[in-house]
Amino acid sequence: MSSRPVYAVPLVPLVCLALAACGGDPGGSAAPTSVSATTPSSTTTAPPTTTSTTTSPTTTKPTTTSATTQAPPKPTRSTPAARPSPRPATALSPVPRAGAEPTVRFPKNEPAVGSGANASIARVPDSVWNRMVGVSWTSGCPVGRSQLRYVRVNFWGFDGKRSRGSIVVNASIADETAAAFTRLYSLQFRIRQMKPMDSTWGKNPKGPGANDYAAMEADNTSAFNCRYVGGEEASKVYSKHAYGTAIDVNDFENPYVADNGTVYPDRYFLTRRGPAPGVFSSSGSAAVRAFTSQGLRWGGLWSNPDYQHFDR
């Protein structure tokens, strides 16, 4: 038996023909999008408004000024010159004699030194201490020389003159003593005399110390004296004067009443406590306050009054 021959056909031309028949993009691409442009609308503007301004002329009236007549200046008075301050007194009127007077008199007081009270404070000088030893001060006294001070101050005497006095006190009240007597000076308070307790007075006949009874009779102002309580020496109790912390001023005008009723040195001023030269009349008087304002107490308020006495 016999067979027919087989012919081979190329594949490429066939593929090309198939693609041409489809007529499309094998990838399926989308058609492009078209964007339409927007045209802006036109705007109509109103024509501008014209404003006319009319200026009226200003009329200025003339100002009429009336003439003013000035009053003539008043005459000025000259200010009187200030009066000069009065000069400090250099003397006062003497105090008339009272119904009773001190029985013991001493020579004239020392003249004042400097102006005003001119108070000074110092250690007890040898000249003063030597007269005190063995009389107003003896071995065994509560205080010694180093604890005492010597106060000097001017005062107004009963004779109307400025005098200088001295007093020995404890150092703890020296400043207060000087201040109190300075105040008395400014008040023109009268003081008879002011002398330390020493050999001038002699020894106390009733116990240790200088003779305070003679000093009271002389109306002497004093402080330190190593003695017992006056009028009560039998008790042998030291007075505050033995410590120098007590001051007696104008004994005669300001008497002392002892516990037994005895009045020293005189009864005359015991019932005459009204304001008078050298008298401490009441706790409210300026003279008493000169001491109490310095922290000292006044014996005039005691049940047995001691009007001359101030202490701490």
Residue 48 confidence class, pLDDT cut points 50, 70, 90? very low
Averaged pLDDT, 53-68 = 45
Establish whether the linkage from the previous residue to 265 is cis, with ω within 30° of 0: yes
Averaged pLDDT, 218-229 = 97
pLDDT at 272: 92
Least confident of 37-46, 82-91, 184-193: 37-46
Within a domain: 3? no
Contact 221, 227 (CB under 8 A): no
Tokens of residue 188, six digits: 């023109």
In angstroms, the Cα distances linking 73 to 76, 77, 80, 270, 273 are 9, 12, 21, 70, 64
Within a domain: 147? yes
Residue 38 confidence class, pLDDT cut points 50, 70, 90? very low
Average of per-residue pLDDT values in the chain: 81
Within a domain: 307? yes
Contact 253, 279 (CB under 8 A): yes
Averaged pLDDT, 138-152 = 97
Q: Is 199 exposed, middle or buried (0-12, 13-18, 19+ CB in 10 A)?
A: middle
Cα–Cα distance measured from residue 206 to residue 204, given in angstroms and rounded to the nearest whole number: 5
Contact 163, 109 (CB under 8 A): yes
Within a domain: 65? no
pLDDT at 202: 95
Tokens of residue 144, six digits: 């010694």
Within a domain: 220? yes
The owner of tokens 């999008």 is 33
| Predicted confidence (pLDDT) per residue in 258-310, tens digit | 989 999 999 999 999 989 999 999 999 999 999 999 999 999 999 999 999 99
| Predicted confidence (pLDDT) per residue in 63-94, tens digit | 444 445 565 566 555 555 666 666 678 899 99
Cα–Cα distance measured from residue 35 to residue 53, given in angstroms and rounded to the nearest whole number: 56
Q: How many CA atoms lie within 13 A of 253 on its CB side?
A: 21
Within a domain: 210? yes
Higher pLDDT among residues 106 and 64, named by residue? 106
| Predicted confidence (pLDDT) per residue in 122-142, tens digit | 999 999 999 999 999 999 999
Contact 227, 208 (CB under 8 A): yes
What percent of the chain clears pLDDT 90, i.e. is strictly above it? 64
Gyration radius (Cα) of the chain, Å: 61
Cα–Cα distance measured from residue 300 to residue 308, given in angstroms and rounded to the nearest whole number: 7
pLDDT at 101: 85
Residue 156 belongs to what domain range? Answer: 111-311
- Number of structural domains (the chain) is 1
Within a domain: 92? no
Within a domain: 62? no
pLDDT at 72: 58
Which of 177, 216, 222, 214 has its CA nearest to residue 195? 222
Residue 27 confidence class, pLDDT cut points 50, 70, 90? very low
Tokens of residue 265, six digits: 């040195």
